[in-house]
Amino acid sequence: VLVTVASAVAGGEDCLWYVDRNGSWHPGFDCDFLTFCCGTCHQRYCCRDPLRLLSQRQQRHCLAF
């Protein structure tokens, strides 16, 4: 688990664009050093909590549905 978290932090997970529950489009954005993209398919923000990490793979999965 620590290796996964460390690689995610080092990789600087960025938040991809998304559409919120109201259908509004939000552009993608970069997270600061030692933070990564967190949240859900419909709301994203940068945080330091690895339990809330939303990987780029998970984000792309959101776009498919």
Instruction: List, as own/partner pairs, every contact residues 35-42 make where C-beta atoms lie below 8 angstroms and the sequence separation is at least 24, other chains included.
Output: 36/8, 36/9, 36/11, 36/12, 37/13, 39/15, 41/65, 42/18
Within a domain: 10: no
Domain count, the chain: 1
Q: What is the pLDDT of residue 52?
A: 94
Within a domain: 6: no
pTM here is: 0.74
Which residues span the domain enclosing 41? Answer: 18-63
- Tell me the one-letter amino acid at 17: W
Q: What is the pLDDT of residue 13?
A: 59
Within a domain: 33: yes
Q: What is the pLDDT of residue 6?
A: 43
Provide the residue-wise pLDDT of the chain in tens; the chain has 65 residues. 444 444 444 454 599 999 999 999 999 999 999 999 999 999 999 999 999 999 999 999 998 76
Within a domain: 7: no
Within a domain: 32: yes
Q: What is the pLDDT of residue 65?
A: 67
